[in-house]
Amino acid sequence: MGQYVVGLVKRCFNNKYRHSHPKIIEALKKEIDSKLLTSYVFYHEKRAELVELLQQDAPEGLDKVFLLSTGSEATENAIKLARTYGISKGGKEKHVIVSFSNAFHGRTLGAQLAGGIPALKEWIVNLDPGFVNVPFPDGYFMKDTSFDVFLNSLKEQGIDPKNIAGVISESYQGAGPFFFPKEYAKKLEAFCRENDALLIMDEVQAGFGRTGKWFTFEHYDIKPDLIACGKGISSSLPLSAVIGRSDVMNMYPPGSMTSTHSASPLPVVAAIENLKVLKEEKMTENAAELGKILKERLQTIQEKHPERIGFVASEGLVAGMQIERNGEGDKEAAYKINERCFQKGLLMFAPVGIGGRCIKIAPPLMITKDALQEGLDLLEEVCNEVL
């Protein structure tokens, strides 16, 4: 289970479930045998069941769910809803979408306009001035993590807060992982309420137990207006969702918010079983518990190489180490660590983040303590060799 095929290769292949939990396989086979493989916009029982499951764990008041296929589709939809909401409340001026530097929200046009990685926007050519980036308070690239930076950045860019339709952010930035300081997140929530701007949390990567909470925004004790979900929602077949306030989700008349494969039966049954398994097997709790080991071990590795590991971030079962040399990102060393780990049997995502300097660690949520320890032993051994 989990978004990425990351972890100990040897261990994963020895593992009982690998990435194909028998309950998911069984549900899929049953669905295939029932011969309902497509549903287009029509109702089916499993669709209702999934929507209910998602509602149950969403904050109060977020009681509508729109099912889609990819994470990008979910963030696109959330952006569209926010703009439509803004225009309905304050006219066309109220259309601005605020997002963060280094953010990633997907590969489609709106998602990349909202993203905060300039190289990914080159193909767009004519950027939309209604999309505005502000610095993310990561504490690494942006040392000043006060909310004043957000306010000042808007001011410098000539944005009147009243014209903001929505603010979108990953609950943690994938490139770090970088988390909001809680106080900043609370101020952001208050800012959105004050200016009637929708707060959109992109939980495509962060949701469904990854950081030891069902949704990562729960760490900040905030309530978004819209949640974009993907990846770990099904841990297998393509399914994503937007969960939101019904007054926002009901703005479009029937027939306007559609997608051909929305709630397609096979992904839907995979997602239902996945959500149940995550709970039955206490994977969120597992992520929280094993996350303590992951954090502690990475800090120890950093202490051994303070000049080369500039920053370590970790929450639940997601973590990252920023590899540096002379205070600059060291892409070559990060790549070497990644490659050597792979050769020794530890498969991790290729280095991510600005300049490819970040070793990203995101093991499956069902990883055992022993497998995690073994993986970390190996990572430590390789860091000692390379750094």
Ligand X SMILES: Cc1ncc(COP(=O)(O)O)c(C=O)c1O
Among residues 209 and 230, whose Cβ is nearest to ligand X? 230
Torsion sign (Cα): 109, 111, 115, 120: negative
**What are the φ/ψ torsions at residue 269 (nearest 5 degrees)?**
-70, -35
Among residues 171 and 322, whose Cβ is nearest to ligand X? 171
Tell whether residue 324 is a contact of ligand X (CB under 6 A).
no
Query: In which region does residue 227 sit, left (phi positive, over 0), alpha (psi from -120 to 50) or beta (all else)?
Result: beta
Per CB under 6 A, the list member of 11, 21, 105, 308 interacting with ligand X is 105
With contact defined as beta carbons under 8 Å apart, do 274 and 351 qualify? no
The one segment of 84-92, 200-208, 219-227, 299-307 that binds ligand X by CB under 6 A: 200-208
Tell whether residue 204 is a contact of ligand X (CB under 6 A).
yes
Per CB under 6 A, the list member of 110, 130, 174, 316 interacting with ligand X is 174
**What are the φ/ψ torsions at residue 329 (nearest 5 degrees)?**
-60, 140
Least distance CB 351 / ligand X (angstroms): 15
Q: How far does the chain reach from its first CA to its final CA, in angstroms? A: 32
User: Rounded distance, CA 25 to CA 293, Å?
Assistant: 31
Tell whether residue 189 is a contact of ligand X (CB under 6 A).
no
Per CB under 6 A, the list member of 31, 138, 189, 202 interacting with ligand X is 202
Per CB under 6 A, the list member of 8, 46, 70, 269 interacting with ligand X is 70
The one segment of 101-109, 188-196, 261-269, 348-356 that binds ligand X by CB under 6 A: 101-109
Tell whether residue 72 is a contact of ligand X (CB under 6 A).
yes
Which residues have C-beta within 8 Å of that of residue 328, sequence separation ≥ 6?
Answer: none
With contact defined as beta carbons under 8 Å apart, do 352 and 175 qualify? yes
Residues facing 64 on adjacent strands: 244
Total chain residues near ligand X (CB under 6 A): 13
The structure tokens listed for 227 are 């949640």
Identity of the amino acid at 81:
L
Tell whether residue 77 is a contact of ligand X (CB under 6 A).
no
The one segment of 14-22, 68-76, 133-141, 277-285 that binds ligand X by CB under 6 A: 68-76
Least distance CB 76 / ligand X (angstroms): 9
The structure tokens listed for 251 are 């703005």
* Interior angle at CA 311, CA 310 and CA 316, nearest 5: 155
With contact defined as beta carbons under 8 Å apart, do 116 and 202 qualify? no
User: Rounded distance, CA 314 to CA 177, Å?
Assistant: 7
Among residues 100 and 147, whose Cβ is nearest to ligand X? 100
Per CB under 6 A, the list member of 67, 75, 77, 187 interacting with ligand X is 75
Least distance CB 237 / ligand X (angstroms): 12
Burial bucket for residue 13 (CB in 10 Å: 0-12, 13-18, 19+): exposed
Residues 226-245, mask of contacts with ligand X (x by CB under 6 A): ----x---------------
Per CB under 6 A, the list member of 31, 76, 138, 170 interacting with ligand X is 170
Least distance CB 228 / ligand X (angstroms): 7
Least distance CB 322 / ligand X (angstroms): 18
Among residues 287 and 387, whose Cβ is nearest to ligand X? 287
Least distance CB 378 / ligand X (angstroms): 26
Among residues 230 and 364, whose Cβ is nearest to ligand X? 230
Which residues have C-beta within 8 Å of that of residue 174, sequence separation ≥ 6?
Answer: 104, 205, 352, 360
Q: Which residues bind ligand X (CB under 6 A)?
A: 70-72, 75, 104-106, 170, 174, 202, 204-205, 230
